[in-house]
Amino acid sequence: MEFNNKKLEKTSKLINYIIAIVLCGFLISLSGKLIDDVDEWEEQPLVEEFQNRELLNAKEAQIKEIEILIDLKDEKRSGVQNTIRIVNGNYTNAKKSYDNWLEARKTVGSPKEDKEVLSRAKELDEFYETQQEWKVELNQISNEIEELSKQRRTIQQSINKENERAYEEREKAIRAYDLKVFLIRLLFILPILLLGILFIIKFRKHKYWPLFLGFVLFSFYAFFVGLVPYLPSYGGYIRYTVGIILSILFGIYAINRIKAFIENKKKELEVSTTERAKKVQIETAEKALDDHMCPSCGKDFIVKKWDKSAGKKDKTSTYGIVTDFCRFCGLELFKKCNKCGEENFAHLPYCSCCGDKLNESEEE
């Protein structure tokens, strides 16, 4: 006796999917740990490995010497600036005192003939000369600092040029490193993907299919999520090229599968209706009855009829008629029970009225 319970069947499918998903989850976690550890097998290239340290150290030492000189010059310039401020103040005060004194002396006699006036004017000139000498000193120090800054910029440009060269070399090494790590990951994941495809082809009807399904889901996840994002880009050319190749391969496979399915259906329809009826499975028969379609060719077995006896207003009203045979492939759809005469769907095993076997006479 064949036990058929839709509720039990749905529960069984749910349990199977849960088993597959749980197994897939643990396999994904394990593979993720493995893939993450691959990065530790090979050290990622560092920019220091490609730098000319002797050249950079020499240049950096020159910059430090120049910066020390610049700091000394800055301190000296600051001292000169402070001195100039003092000298300017002395000159301003002396000139103001001289002007006031000179105005007072005008009332006494000719200031041009006064020796004291000449002496004080000479003293004022000495303040002015001192002021100008310190300004010349300040300009000289500023020029020296500017020259040292130019030398520092030139050396820094050499350092930057060397660093740019090192970074370019590092980028090349990183691309080679990424490709190597990807190939190591591919070495692990590609056999898993091929094994998952093999499971789909060979073990879809196996009693342990939920376990195989869990591995299949894991294999596709490991390839498309765990591996493809690590595929070296090289500007996107490789990734897009791989995407195009996979799309073409999948397209060819899908087209061939659809074409093969259509060809098999055509061949099935060439077989006698008796032979086709024997190959219809109970699950297929149940679904066909629920969807009112032929289990062999998949066409709707309900024929639309129009009630022409009604008035013109109701002329478009329709109703359905269920045919005993498929009008497209000739397969028998409904038959009467040999025991009670109740009409049943021909591809179900027992009569819905008396429970007698529908195909008992054929089996004998």
Taking only the tens place, the pLDDT of each residue in 15-65 is 888 888 888 888 888 877 777 776 666 677 787 777 888 888 888 888 899
Q: Closest Cα partner for 100 from 129, 131, 124, 130? A: 124
Residues 331 and 256 in one domain: no
Let me know if residue 6 belongs to a domain. Answer: no
**Looking at residue 271, what is its pLDDT?**
62
Let me know if residue 7 belongs to a domain. Answer: no
Residues 97 and 203 in one domain: yes
Residue 112 has pLDDT above 50, yes or no: yes
Residues 64 and 177 in one domain: yes
Domain boundary among 232, 256, 290: 232
Let me know if residue 4 belongs to a domain. Answer: no
**Looking at residue 186, what is its pLDDT?**
82
Cα–Cα dist 296/288, whole Å: 9
Residues 70 and 203 in one domain: yes
Residues 114 and 208 in one domain: yes
Three-class SS state of 245: helix
Q: Closest Cα partner for 218 from 18, 21, 19? A: 21
Look at 89-98, 245-254, 268-277 and tell me which has the smallest mean pLDDT: 268-277
Greatest mean pLDDT among 63-72, 111-120, 302-311 lies in 63-72
Residues 243 and 282 in one domain: no
Give the predicted TM-score (pTM) of the model. Answer: 0.46
**Looking at residue 120, what is its pLDDT?**
67
**Looking at residue 106, what is its pLDDT?**
63
Give the DSSP H/E element, type plus range, for residue 93: helix 53-105
Let me know if residue 309 belongs to a domain. Answer: yes
Residues 173 and 194 in one domain: yes
Residue 103 has pLDDT above 50, yes or no: yes
* pLDDT bracket for residue 4 (50, 70, 90): very low
Q: Would you say 36 and 164 are in contact if contact means Cβ atoms under 8 Å apart?
A: no
Distances (CA, A) of 108 to 111, 115, 121, 323: 8, 13, 18, 148
Let me know if residue 251 belongs to a domain. Answer: yes
* pLDDT bracket for residue 280 (50, 70, 90): low
Name 333's Cβ contacts closer than 8 Å, sequence gap at least 6. Answer: 294, 301, 322, 323, 324, 325, 326, 345, 346, 347
Q: Would you say 320 and 304 are in contact if contact means Cβ atoms under 8 Å apart?
A: yes
Report the domain count for the chain: 3
Residues 221 and 240 in one domain: no
Distances (CA, A) of 327 to 284, 301, 330: 19, 7, 6
Domain boundary among 270, 295, 318: 270
> Which pLDDT tens digit goes with each residue over 345-357?
777 778 878 877 7
Three-class SS state of 352: coil
Let me know if residue 176 belongs to a domain. Answer: yes
DSSP assignment of 187-214: HHHHHHHHHHHHHHHH-TTSTTHHHHHH
> Which pLDDT tens digit goes with each residue over 177-194?
878 878 888 888 888 888
Cα–Cα dist 13/210, whole Å: 9
Average pLDDT, the chain: 76
If you average pLDDT over residues 78-97, what whole number do you get? Answer: 80
If you average pLDDT over residues 7-16, what whole number do you get? Answer: 76
Residues 64 and 83 in one domain: yes
If you average pLDDT over residues 269-290, what whole number do you get? Answer: 64
Residues 241 and 357 in one domain: no
DSSP-derived letter for residue 357 is B
Domain boundary among 246, 270, 294: 270
Q: Would you say 105 and 111 are in contact if contact means Cβ atoms under 8 Å apart?
A: yes
**Looking at residue 327, what is its pLDDT?**
78
> 160 or 101: whose pLDDT is higher?
160
Q: Would you say 30 and 221 are in contact if contact means Cβ atoms under 8 Å apart?
A: no
Distances (CA, A) of 322 to 269, 274, 333, 343: 21, 20, 9, 12
Let me know if residue 10 belongs to a domain. Answer: no
Residues 254 and 319 in one domain: no
Let me know if residue 1 belongs to a domain. Answer: no
Boundaries of domain holding 324: 273-363
Residues 84 and 47 in one domain: yes
- Cα 292–293–296 angle (5° rounding)? 150
